[in-house]
Structure formats: C-alpha cells, structure tokens
Amino acid sequence: MIDFHTHTVFSDGAFIPSEMARRAEVAGCRAVALTDHGDSSNLDIVIPALVKASKALAEQFRIRVIPGVELTHVPPALIPSLEREARELGAKIVIVHGETIVEPVPEGTNRAALESNIDILAHPGLITEEEVRMAKANNICLEISGRKGHSLTNGHVARLAMKVGAKLLVNSDAHGPGDLISLDFARKVALGAGLSEEGFKMARSNAEELLKKVV
C-alpha cells in the first residue's frame, strides 16, 4: 500500500509525524505522504516542519515518508501560486482538496486545480466529464477516498475516470486512529466504487508511478 494522503497535528490530524509514519508502517504501507491542510497562512510553517520530519524518519523507519501538502478551501485563483510556493518550500506531493459534497469547497476548485501543476485532486465530488478529461490530459491523479463522507462520490469519480481513461489512486485521508487502511481494505474500497480487479491493479500501478516521480 502507498498512501499519498494523511494528516498530522500540523493541521487537523491526531498524530505527530513519527506516530503517523509508524502506524502507516504497521498497517502495511511502503510509503506514506504527510499532506497537512495548507493555505497562504501556513505553508511556510507546515511544509518545512514536514520536510524536517521526513528526513529524520528516513534514517529510522523502513517506510518511505514523503512531505507534502493539501491545499484546502483556498480561493481557486490562488491555487497556481500556492502550488508553486509549496514546491519551493519542499513539498514533494501537492494535493488539492476537491469539491467534496460534504464540505463548502469553493466552486471552481476542481477546474483551477486541474489547470495547475498538482499531483492529486482529492475527493473531487461530482466532478464533470470535462474536468476528468482535463485530469487525463494533465496527468493528474483523481482520488478514490477511504474517508467517510468524501467516499460518497467514489462511484461517480471511478465511473467517469474509467470512461475517459484518467488515472485513479486509492488513499486513506487519514486523520486519526482507525483511519489508515490496509492494501486489502483499499481493494475493497476500489471494488465498492465500481473498479474491477484490473482497475484496482491499475490504481496501484498509478501509485507506483507517482512514487517514482516524487522520490
């Protein structure tokens, strides 16, 4: 299992980076990205802290720990500049918090994210087919979420991605105890979203490809 979407105490998670990494390792993850929520107020605090933690943990744990960020509820027009700032600060993975149906994410977030140089659009809600085609064209992965609430539109996202040929990933969006998922549970989430066994295999391949890109 490669999990590109987790949160620590540097935003609204329950664990410090060491504990999140250790719990992910015990859950069977080979790699985990620490992607705390960020906007213009805190990128310069959160990302350097996660970069520092990732470097220290790399010397102690077998699991690969990747520093990143999830740009969350930011005005769509700010996404491109915040993505660039995040990269400059050391983020290896940049996620945008998509237009999930369970939160008041600004309209236009999905499109602005897909026009930017991000890696993953998380829980993109009722994403349009045109936007899914943008994801494919710009080599951006769409997330199948293991998190309650955000997972309500997994089937919609999976159906359009399979129709268009866009890349999918399965992530936990872990915030606390019980949120991390094993490879077997990730498979069940994928199948529950309508993916075939081959589709889940492709999602795992997409994760491997992204890992090679960022490490």
Find the mean pLDDT for residues 11-20: 96
Residue-averaged pLDDT of the chain: 97
Checking if the pLDDT of 125 tops 90, the result is yes
pLDDT tens sequence across 24-71? 999 999 999 999 999 999 999 999 999 999 999 988 899 999 999 999
Question: 73 near 105, Cβ under 8 Å?
Answer: yes
Residue-range definition of the domain harbouring residue 189: 2-214
Question: 82 near 74, Cβ under 8 Å?
Answer: yes
pLDDT value for 92: 98
pLDDT tens sequence across 59-96? 889 999 999 999 999 999 999 999 999 999 999 999 99
pLDDT value for 149: 97
* Tally of domains within the chain: 1
Amino acid in position 158: A
Instruction: Give the pTM.
Output: 0.97
Locus of tokens 């080979």: 30
Find the mean pLDDT for residues 177-187: 95
pLDDT value for 59: 83
The radius of gyration of the chain's CA atoms, rounded to the nearest angstrom, is 15
Burial class (CB in 10 A: 0-12, 13-18, 19+), 183: middle
Find the mean pLDDT for residues 184-199: 98
* Structure confidence at residue 215 as a pLDDT band (50, 70, 90): confident
Burial class (CB in 10 A: 0-12, 13-18, 19+), 152: middle
Residue 108: count of CB within 10 angstroms of its CB: 13
What three-state secondary structure class fits 181? coil
Please give the Cα distance from 36 to 162 (Å, whole number). 29
* CATH number of residue 136's parent domain: 3.20.20.140
Residue 70 has φ and ψ, to the nearest 5°, of -115, 105
pLDDT value for 64: 96
Nearest to 167 by CA among 200, 206, 112, 193: 206
